[in-house]
Amino acid sequence: MREDKLDGNLVVMGHLAGDSIGLNGLAGRLEHSGVETIRVGILPSK
């Protein structure tokens, strides 16, 4: 990113965290546009 002089942020994370953030963002956008989503997590919620 630095060499290409790109603006933005680079976030490095594990597989599960990355999937969760990415898929939750996608589901939120779908819900905002009227699509019903059902979220099923593999990690227990607190």
pLDDT digits (tens, 9 = 90+) for 2-33: 888 888 877 777 777 777 777 788 888 889 99
Residue 44: pLDDT band (50, 70, 90) is low
Residue 26 is predicted with a pLDDT of 81
Looking at residue 10, its pLDDT comes to 75
- As for how many domains the chain has, the answer is 1
Q: Are 22 and 13 a contacting pair, CB within 8 Å?
A: no
8 Å CB contact between 19 and 12: no
Domain holding 27, by residue range, is: 1-46
pLDDT of residue 8: 83
